Structure 1
């Protein structure tokens, strides 16, 4: 009996060893992974590009001190350890023996250079406000730095784990100047090779990488704007992997053994933003009317087709500080309620069924791009049609993503509405509530493209970011969301999931909840 138990245990151990050994041995080095994606980046320097099309690429080139793993835990990257010395100071011990792609040594001076470039440039890097009130970086020795904030700042460690904070080669920045934004140099598993605008970007393996070397020889990001064309390219083998899959195709891909569907619960809220400084959207009754006029359930069922979920707040449930704003109960789809609110605001139907106030038609201008987000064009057009049903004329203008993004980020936004999705990259409420809704955050200072101004919200988000007590911070963000629900700053449409599809020979890839964290350092091709 004892011998039988020993034999069985031995077999189990042997099988386990073979499984592990087999997995390791199965990894194959070499090959090119070709990715079909909808749009080109604005730039490849985080100082200028804080949206996914750029981050998908530079996440593989640049590395921050810390990173959020797939379970959203903070883990070391270019820092080996950290210690919170005070509410305003964190000490980081840096990884030794690391070199940038151009041969420049990675050290404390490079960290200091990166943060000074972001915070001391005029204007500041686009990510500077997102990372919080960082005052300076002090070099303690060659491999030790202190990051110091202007005030106590609860989310500092999560800020250091954002993809935007990847450390740059000081040598390359000084040598390349503005061209660095098109040919970044970092410490990551892949090196930049070339960028042909609106066609492709190519990365190659970093043979001198400090960690486990990438298995792929190359990663090619191809621009294929139409989702139908991307799907066809995947099916024919023209590409190996696609971003933004047509919802109608997901179930078909899941049933087909030739493909693999990769999923993660996302942190992104797709919405129609409203410019509150531009009449008539300065009237909360009009904004509430628009909220009642949009049939979110119809969009989720007939356009998104199960690939997204109904938003319950202006941030995703996976974000610290989330509170259910009960948007479906406060603003259910109700055209009669919408019309009553508009009538209360002085808007009456004209002979052409478009609402008027005197001789003024209720016309709203709306800017959007196609292909940046899943079904963004179709959803935007559906919202336009729904608003027309209550007599609101929407002048919809589609443009290239870079142009639309620039307009949304401009100090003076000349449109009433804009289509956008906001992802809380570090999964902390401060990232969204402070940057999106503080009255001092009008672009380019920060990200309040809504031109929202509520002194009580300002006070709450200021207090929340300076508080280290998690329960107190949650309570403060809860009140912020209660106020936002009353004020109606945006029209949330869906919470997106991260969904990618690859050929079945693509192995080792794992989808991340943060859309920007699209890493291919462990991906390999079984062919």
Structure 2
């Protein structure tokens, strides 16, 4: 009997032990699954996640929201995303068929009524979106949208790539802090100006991510971003400090990627300022920009000098030579404008020529470009006051107490010239910070908006870019490469895109 109880006791101990082992095994597996996490560090911070007005496009970049169509970056064409197909032969009456397998992250269906509500909210919240989309009427039926524009607008669908036209569930209460979209990641928490905590959306229509979670953090200090990757605090860094790239590459396990983008660093000119209303003063400003020096010393070669707003490799970019540059050329233009150098100051009618130059630190190279310009201008007697600002779009739109601004702009994020020309040079453009209102240029842009043929559109885009170049409405400094560094021993399937829109996607994984 004692032996019988002894055997039962031993058996119970073994069962308990095996059970504990099994529980430990499951626990370890669960811990491993939960360990699939990416820490991503971005260079722009934001205090709002409202996708319809957020100029940093964080909701889309973080994988929370999506748009009806997206850019095929290889072919520079538009491809379906939340929309399955579209047609609009006359360029004014559009029929858009939506995918029927998409849900918002709260489980609600993404049907035509919900998409209509999202588009209408975007139009209500943003004058820029009103001007860009030119929508007169939206009708919803099941999973079909019928949209009528105020005028024939052949490139209407390409404007739906804009992150500010992201589709969200507008019935949610706190869109500023917790938008609900259709993307692969659900927003769990948001600390304004600091970070987002994201969690995999298990019912994502295009296949749930293998990642369990992502931290999307902000730091506008390029050196701090580089140090965070070196120390292992983060896994991916967007735009690390250029000076740190050699040491990053030398560190085992760090991959550095660089790709040409559709971006230009430009010197935006406030055409409402009296001195800059003279084209020769604008030509002098342009001549003072030492592009090669800036590319070689500030960007360390990770850029190419700009002649105009568009990369020369794009089909709608004009072929023209870079204007003459140098302090002697700048002085010649200023003399034509009636200025002369007296007692070390460039002046006209006893008034010295001065510029207030805006810049911002989120793009580390822009303040350095401002300093180079300030130094070169001083050599010919022009005082330049550099003023640091935080959010350039907000400041330049609300204030006219400045002359120049180092600004960085995506010029072809839709694979077409229309976006940049409309936004930057049309009187209704959301990014027309120069205050340009040139009837001839506006006429060309309006004609471009109503032209279907890609060949004819390219001709009109060249005409517009030529006009901007000839009249020096803004100067173009360089086309920077987008640089991303990451832990190659951990990160899998990262893609550095030319449009800079698509970052935290469902294919992103860890090894």
For residue 228 of structure 2, what is the aligned residue in structure 1? 233
Distance change in 2, residues 1:134/1:124 (3 Å): same
Contact 2:69 2:83 in 1 (8 A): yes
For residue 85 of structure 2, what is the aligned residue in structure 1? 81
CA distance in 1 between counterparts of 2:350 and 2:57 reads: 43
For residue 357 of structure 1, what is the aligned residue in structure 2? 348
Contact 1:93 1:143 in 2 (8 A): yes
For residue 422 of structure 1, what is the aligned residue in structure 2? 409
Distance change in 2, residues 1:358/1:269 (3 Å): same
The offset of 1:89, in angstroms, is 2.2
Contact 1:163 1:517 in 2 (8 A): no
Answering whether residue 387 of structure 2 is matched by residue 407 of structure 1, we say no
CA distance in 2 between counterparts of 1:509 and 1:28 reads: 20
Q: Tell me, what secondary structure is at the counterpart of 2:374?
A: helix
The offset of 1:28, in angstroms, is 7.9
Superposed CA offset, 1:387-417 (max 9, x none):
22222111111122x3x3211122x522111
- Unmatched 5+ residue regions in structure 1? 1-26
For residue 15 of structure 1, what is the aligned residue in structure 2? none
CA distance in 1 between counterparts of 2:473 and 2:149 reads: 30
Which of 297, 300, 312 is the equivalent residue of 2:295? Answer: 300
For residue 129 of structure 1, what is the aligned residue in structure 2? 131
Answering whether residue 421 of structure 2 is matched by residue 454 of structure 1, we say no
For residue 106 of structure 2, what is the aligned residue in structure 1? 102
The offset of 1:30, in angstroms, is 4.7
CA distance in 2 between counterparts of 1:248 and 1:376 reads: 14
Contact 1:193 1:203 in 2 (8 A): yes
The offset of 1:435, in angstroms, is 2.1
CA distance in 1 between counterparts of 2:248 and 2:270 reads: 39
Q: Which residues in structure 2 correspond to 1:322-401 (within 5 Å)?
A: 322-326=317-321, 328=322, 331-351=323-343, 353-371=344-362, 373-400=363-390
The offset of 1:456, in angstroms, is 0.9
Comparing 150-159 with 246-255, which one deviates more in the overlay?
A: 246-255
Contact 1:154 1:466 in 2 (8 A): yes
Q: Tell me, what secondary structure is at the counterpart of 1:261?
A: strand
The offset of 1:241, in angstroms, is 0.7
CA distance in 1 between counterparts of 2:207 and 2:275 reads: 56
Contact 1:44 1:182 in 2 (8 A): yes
Answering whether residue 440 of structure 2 is matched by residue 435 of structure 1, we say no
Answering whether residue 504 of structure 2 is matched by residue 513 of structure 1, we say no
Superposed CA offset, 1:421-464 (max 9, x none):
110321211111122112343xxxx2211111221111111011
CA distance in 1 between counterparts of 2:87 and 2:351 reads: 61
Which of 247, 250, 265 is the equivalent residue of 2:245? Answer: 250
CA distance in 2 between counterparts of 1:50 and 1:128 reads: 15
CA distance in 2 between counterparts of 1:440 and 1:324 reads: 28
CA distance in 2 between counterparts of 1:319 and 1:455 reads: 26
The offset of 1:346, in angstroms, is 2.2
Comparing 477-486 with 253-262, which one deviates more in the overlay?
A: 253-262
Answering whether residue 33 of structure 2 is matched by residue 37 of structure 1, we say no
Tell me the number of residue pairs that the alignment of Structure 1 and Structure 2 aligns: 477
CA distance in 2 between counterparts of 1:348 and 1:52 reads: 46
Contact 1:66 1:74 in 2 (8 A): yes
Superposed CA offset, 1:90-125 (max 9, x none):
222211132211222210011111221122x2x635
CA distance in 1 between counterparts of 2:431 and 2:423 reads: 5
Answering whether residue 29 of structure 2 is matched by residue 65 of structure 1, we say no
Comparing 249-258 with 280-289, which one deviates more in the overlay?
A: 249-258
Contact 2:355 2:404 in 1 (8 A): yes
Comparing 312-321 with 428-437, which one deviates more in the overlay?
A: 312-321
Contact 2:223 2:244 in 1 (8 A): no
Q: Tell me, what secondary structure is at the counterpart of 1:181?
A: coil
The alignment's C-alpha RMSD in Å is: 2.1
Contact 2:122 2:165 in 1 (8 A): no
CA distance in 1 between counterparts of 2:130 and 2:504 reads: 23
The offset of 1:221, in angstroms, is 2.0
For residue 212 of structure 2, what is the aligned residue in structure 1? 217
CA distance in 2 between counterparts of 1:164 and 1:43 reads: 13
For residue 22 of structure 2, what is the aligned residue in structure 1? none
CA distance in 2 between counterparts of 1:157 and 1:284 reads: 36
Q: Tell me, what secondary structure is at the counterpart of 2:261?
A: strand
Q: Tell me, what secondary structure is at the counterpart of 1:135?
A: strand
The offset of 1:339, in angstroms, is 0.7
Superposed CA offset, 1:360-392 (max 9, x none):
221111221102x25122112112212222221
Contact 2:310 2:317 in 1 (8 A): yes
For residue 503 of structure 1, what is the aligned residue in structure 2? 487
For residue 139 of structure 2, what is the aligned residue in structure 1? 138
Q: Tell me, what secondary structure is at the counterpart of 2:171?
A: helix
For residue 470 of structure 1, what is the aligned residue in structure 2? 454
Which of 263, 284, 292 is the equivalent residue of 1:289? Answer: 284
- Unmatched 5+ residue regions in structure 2? 1-31
Contact 2:85 2:97 in 1 (8 A): yes
Contact 1:244 1:500 in 2 (8 A): yes
Taking structure 1 as the reference length, the TM-score comes to: 0.86
Contact 2:327 2:380 in 1 (8 A): yes
Q: Which residues in structure 2 correspond to 1:169-180 (within 5 Å)?
A: 169-172=169-172, 175-176=173-174, 180=175
Comparing 271-280 with 88-97, which one deviates more in the overlay?
A: 88-97
CA distance in 1 between counterparts of 2:137 and 2:67 reads: 16
CA distance in 1 between counterparts of 2:34 and 2:205 reads: 17
Superposed CA offset, 1:476-498 (max 9, x none):
12221221111111121111222
The offset of 1:514, in angstroms, is 0.4
The offset of 1:257, in angstroms, is 4.3
Taking structure 2 as the reference length, the TM-score comes to: 0.88
For residue 8 of structure 1, what is the aligned residue in structure 2? none
CA distance in 2 between counterparts of 1:50 and 1:69 reads: 22
The offset of 1:85, in angstroms, is 4.4
